[in-house]
Amino acid sequence: MLHSSDFQPPWWLSNAHLQTLWPFLFRPRPRLALRRERLELPDGDFLDLDFTLNEAGPVVLVLHGLQGSVRSKYAAGLLHALATHGYRAVLMHFRGCSGEPNRLPHSYHSGETGDPAFVIEFLRNRFPGAPLAAIGFSLGGNALLKLLAEQGAGSPLRTAVAVSVPFLLNEGADKFNRGLSRIYRQYLLGSLIRSVMDKHNKIDLSGKINLELIQGCNDFWVFDHEVTARLNGFKDVHDYYRRSSSRGYLHLIKTPTLILHAEDDPFMRPATVPRNDELSPSVRLELSKHGGHVGFVTGNNPFQMRYWLDERILQHLNDHLR
């Protein structure tokens, strides 16, 4: 069901771009005690997992967004909040995002559900009997929603949360080419291109993608056609966007799921948000007028801002896991 969110930004921080950039620029990164574990995959590749050191409590898997990692402030902040409130939190780095290129040409993408599914099963076996939940941000949220739909009533997760999801990837790619959203496009594409070249230095990609074209790329349509689609078995960019966009899968979700989204998200258009009739009865979509992309910053003191996402996610987990 579609609901209005109770998030309210301070008057001086209501702009979508300020909401998006404030945590990136000014949020302190908490000190985290973490243990890293490398998980070997059946196809010969690997995933790096970062665990908080809690020895008891429900287990919560965190999936970061595009080019994110444990160093992303939204991820580190949530891990800290989860650990402080008695949850065993685990951040899964998508392939190539933990500081080392992955071994295979295959890369992560918005529709990648195999790796999160493998990790969830690994966690279920590692912590038998512990309640399991998952939280996904942006790209990670899209992948999580698609996975929940694929697993249906058989999902091992007791509940899930998805934040600032790019429900329709083609519309997101278009939005990045307009107005101030081009700032984010330039930053994200630059990071993606550097990652591709780092991988090329490890394994030869010259026969698989057009490296010269990629190095000068400034459009997600081009990058996703030349890199994402080619390296991950899609026919073309249209096939990738169609099969990987989570909006068409939401009616299949059986796990109690909370989606948090802002109408002013600069990564997509307001019309990208799913309609009420597209949501399964298990999905609660809370929509706010403001909040930007993975922003949702509130509080009246610029030196003591509150990160509402952490509070709302904890409230939801407490309701479903405690």
Residues with catalytic roles:
138, 265, 293
Rounded distance, CA 162 to CA 174, Å?
Answer: 22
Rg (C-alpha) for the chain, rounded Å, is: 19
Cα gap 279→75, rounded to integer Å: 26
Question: How many angstroms separate the CA atoms of 296 and 32, rounded?
Answer: 22
Q: Which of 284, 114, 84 is nearest to 92 (CA)?
A: 114
Instruction: List the helix and strand counts (H, then E) for the chain.
Output: 11, 11
Q: How far apart are CA 261 and CA 292, in angstroms?
A: 8
Query: Residue 165: which of 233, 250, 97 has the closest Cα?
Result: 250
